[in-house]
Amino acid sequence: MDKLKDREASLREQEKDLRAKLAEARQLKAELSAREREESDKLERAERAEAERRAREHARREAAEQRRLRAQQEETRQELAEGTITGEATAPAEDGPVSEGAEAAIAFAEAQVGEPYVWGATGPGTWDCTGLTQAAWRAAGVEIPRVTWDQVTAGTSVPVDELRPGDLVFFFDDISHVGLYTGGGHMIHAPRPGASARSESICTMPIHSAIRPG
């Protein structure tokens, strides 16, 4: 009888220890979950802060680029008014023949008129200047590089007075802008933040050079 009582007491003690350990395990699990949630919250806050920082930096670059382009355009308008821009800014007197590839590139660019400029955008729906010209010539089956400094060497150099529709016209001394020549002294281009792709005279900016892709 005493052995049975001792056995029952031992079992009760073991059960008590087991319950204590179970409670401790539950507490540890709750504490771990709390730490995990805290770490997750910290990571989320850090990612959100980094995203906001990048957005501010992107907005700062776009604003600076817009101010630069506006200043350059204003300078060009003044030079046009004063007659000090060289003959390089003069549209060709007569357009040359249009190739099938150029027709396809122009058709693509015309379809994007009215879509907004977004710095770094390559479509669809939003464009920067080189994103638009690259996509236009891609529609014609011709791959050209992504940025102006590479696009300016991606074809045959042509004098401005011998431009043909489909040629790429580059602007400013730093080759920071490009448009797709469509004939009659006009081009389609994505001009700057806050504006949309549009047709405009090539004489609104100082021309650097021009190339014929393909």
The residues assigned a catalytic role are 129, 177, 189
**Sign of the dihedral defined by the CA atoms of residues 197, 181, 80, 172, in that order:** positive
**Sign of the dihedral defined by the CA atoms of residues 181, 187, 191, 196, in that order:** negative
Residues 209 and 170: beta-carbon distance below 8 Å: yes
CA 74 to chain centre: 25
Cis amide linkage into residue 124, ω under 30° from 0: yes
Q: How far apart are CA 37 and CA 194, in angstroms?
A: 42
Q: From residue 78, give the alpha-carbon distance in Å to each of 66, 75, 138, 172.
A: 18, 5, 36, 15
DSSP letter, residue 115: P
Q: How far apart are CA 7 and CA 178, in angstroms?
A: 93
Residues ≥6 apart with Cβ < 8 Å to 159: 210
Nearest by Cα to 212 from 104, 101, 131, 122? 101
Residues 62 and 119: beta-carbon distance below 8 Å: yes
